[in-house]
Amino acid sequence: MGGKGKAGRTILRNAMLLVEDYRVANAPKTEHMLAPIGPVSWKPPSHGFYKVNIDGAVFSKRKQAGAGVVIKDGEGEVIAALSKQWKFLLGATEAEAKAWEAGILFARDVGIRDVEFEGDSLEVCNALQGLTSPPSSVANVLTDFLNHVSHFRQWKVSHIKRQGNVPAHLLAQHAQHVGDYVAWLEECPSLIEHACAQDKCNLFSCFQ
């Protein structure tokens, strides 16, 4: 590298991030090959529950990561929303796991009791549901998540594809522009108004 050395720890971390990005990018698309892709849209939570949609993001050039969280009621109305930034680089799976941690802490602080947590990371969802073992790099974070669920009266975990998780995705991307975090209570952030309106439109169509 032009005579400039790097610490072994830095080389190892960068190598692990590259391997993780390669693994995610080259994951088998079996699900898409077996069945045609149909429209995916946000669905309301079970009666009496709130839905907490979560997404993580990696900003490689900035060496940062972020999370987006949006809490909606059964009518699709936004109760609260969050964009959070971490000033250090994470791999794709690590960013998703940290986003779930941010999501459960935010839901607890908002004060809701019956919650359905939903995100587009199948790996994280499967691990939290006990269907698979979590990757070692995020095992502690997901264990902490499960420890926090005792704060809720009822809770569920569900998976949704990215197309049905757009508001959380937009909030995660917005995290690169905030200092630490920004939260909205009892209002819908302008940057996700259109996406949330589309979710409500799809929801209304479901009951036609």
Q: Which of 11-15, 27-31, 39-43, 110-114 shows the lowest per-residue confidence on average (mean pLDDT)?
A: 27-31
112 three-class SS: coil
Place of tokens 């209570």: 185
Sign of CA dihedral 106, 189, 74, 205: negative
Given pLDDT bands bounded at 50, 70 and 90, which one contains residue 203?
confident
Domain residue spans in the chain? 50-206
22 three-class SS: helix
Per-residue pLDDT reduced to its tens digit, 109-138: 999 999 999 999 999 999 999 999 999 999
Tokens of 114: 């019956």
Per-residue pLDDT reduced to its tens digit, 90-100: 999 999 999 99
The whole-chain average pLDDT of the chain stands at: 87
How far apart are alpha carbons 65 and 57 in whole angstroms? 6
Maximum distance among all Cα pairs of the chain, rounded to whole angstroms: 67
How far apart are alpha carbons 40 and 163 in whole angstroms? 6
* CB-neighbour burial class of residue 28 (10 A; exposed 0-12, middle 13-18, buried 19+): exposed
How far apart are alpha carbons 98 and 82 in whole angstroms? 13
Q: Which residues contact 16 (CB under 8 A, 6 or more apart)?
A: 91, 137
Strands 114-119 and 64-72, bridge-based pairing: unpaired
Asked if the 50-206 domain carries CATH number 3.30.420.10, the reply is yes
Place of tokens 């009266």: 153
Q: Is the pLDDT of residue 30 over 60?
A: no
Q: Can you give the pLDDT at residue 32?
A: 39
